[in-house]
Copies of this chain bind each other. A is one copy, B any other.
Amino acid sequence: MSATYRDVKADILDKITRGTWAPGSLVPSEVDLAETYGCARATVNRAMRELVEDGIIERRRKAGTRVRMAPVRQARFAIPIVRKEIEDQGAAYRYALVSRAVATAPDWLRARLNLAGGGQVLHLTCMHYADGIPYQFEDRWINLAVLPQAREADFAQTGPNEWLVAEIPFSDAEISFLAVSADAGLAAHLGCAPGDALFQTERITWWQGAANTFVRLTYRRGHRMTARY
């Protein structure tokens, strides 16, 4: 008697993975399941909500709950701060500012960030090292219309990433993963040969509707990003 929501979730998941409840089939209603497991409906409801969250089942009022035909396989990636990423690997972290310039946003950036014409941006390039070895090259553009205080910030000691996290702790973002061929500059910074295939991420973040930064992070040769799901 008296199952917990974890018990209920585990049992239902088991029935689904073992095929007792096939993809597309109808799952008993919450009331029935509550009786089956001898618990309150709220308990069943919580188990079911988590299964929806996990992409295992689909629910619709009146129509009931069904096992998904094609499970939505989804992975969650933690987007780490570079320093933490490196330190978690047990390596020593070092940061270096490569260049810094205030400029008018180039056309491609205005299009990406949906900026008005003539917008001023702060363009930074930096390097992140793990145990002295190049780890990541950072190419960052900060919208000075949204973050005028960036103009006065000192990025010689602290990377723009950590500065931004302190300045704007929570924001919306869009991230892309892709592969690029190393040009001469990247090759020099990351200690690889021109033409080498490198893993790159691009990220745009917004705060209260306005884009505040665009960043392109290029990792050293051989880097991979891993997740479990």
Contact = CB atoms under 8 A, between A and B. Distances in A.
B73 A178 contact: no
A71 B80 CA distance: 10
B71 A226 contact: no
Contact of A198 (B74, B173, B174, B179): B179
Interface string A1-38: 00000000000010011010001000000000000000
A99 interface: no
Interface residue SS majority, chain A: strand
Interface residues of A, number: 49
Taking the full assembly, how many copies of this chain does it contain? 2
A140 to B, nearest CB: 16
A87 B75 CA distance: 21
A156 interface: no
B74 A78 contact: yes
A172 B54 CA distance: 12
A81 to B, nearest CB: 6
Contacts of A117: none
Most chain B CB neighbours (cut-off 10 Å) among A74, A179, A227, A228: A179
A146 interface: no
A112 interface: no
Contacts of A227: 174-176
A60 interface: no
Given A16-B170, A199-B179, A75 B79 contact: yes
B165 A178 contact: no
B76 A74 contact: yes
A198 B178 CA distance: 8
19 contacts: A13-B170, A19-B169, A71-B170, A72-B78, A73-B79, A173-B229, A174-B226, A175-B226, A176-B227, A177-B199, A177-B224, A178-B199, A178-B225, A179-B223, A180-B197, A181-B196, A196-B197, A197-B197, A197-B198
Q: Which 7 A-B pairs have the closest CB atoms?
A: A179-B179, A197-B197, A73-B79, A178-B224, A179-B197, A181-B197, A179-B199
